[in-house]
Amino acid sequence: MPPSSAMGTWWIIGFGAAAVVVVVVAALLLGILYQARRIRRLAGVAIEVVGRIDVNTRSVWALRTTNATAAGLLDGAKAIEGNAAAIRGVLEASHGTESAA
């Protein structure tokens, strides 16, 4: 083989290898683009689900306020019970003195 013919063969092999590399890189880039779009779509779904979870659990976080209000109501009810017992005691005592007279 003349030297120019051998050199031409190596150029063809080099171009073939470069073409294979370009095809592989293009395939990898297409795969990356596909996965990026998939991740973006799944992130949108995740954001929607997180929004629904937030709405559905707000009542749980509001229980802290409800418990504080209930504690205040219980304290008020205990005060009313104490006042009612005092009034009852006074009425029973006054009723007892009227009966004795």
The pTM score is: 0.51
Residue 10 has pLDDT above 60, yes or no: yes
Looking at residue 95, its pLDDT comes to 79
pLDDT tens for 34-88 read 999 999 999 999 999 999 999 999 888 888 888 889 999 999 999 999 999 999 9
φ, ψ (nearest 5 deg) of residue 2 = -70, 155
Cα 9 to chain center, whole Å? Answer: 62
Comparing CA positions, the residue from 76, 74, 78 lying closest to residue 66 is: 74
Looking at residue 72, its pLDDT comes to 92
Q: Which value, in Å, is the radius of gyration of the alpha carbons in the chain?
A: 43
Task: Tell me the residue length of the chain.
Answer: 101
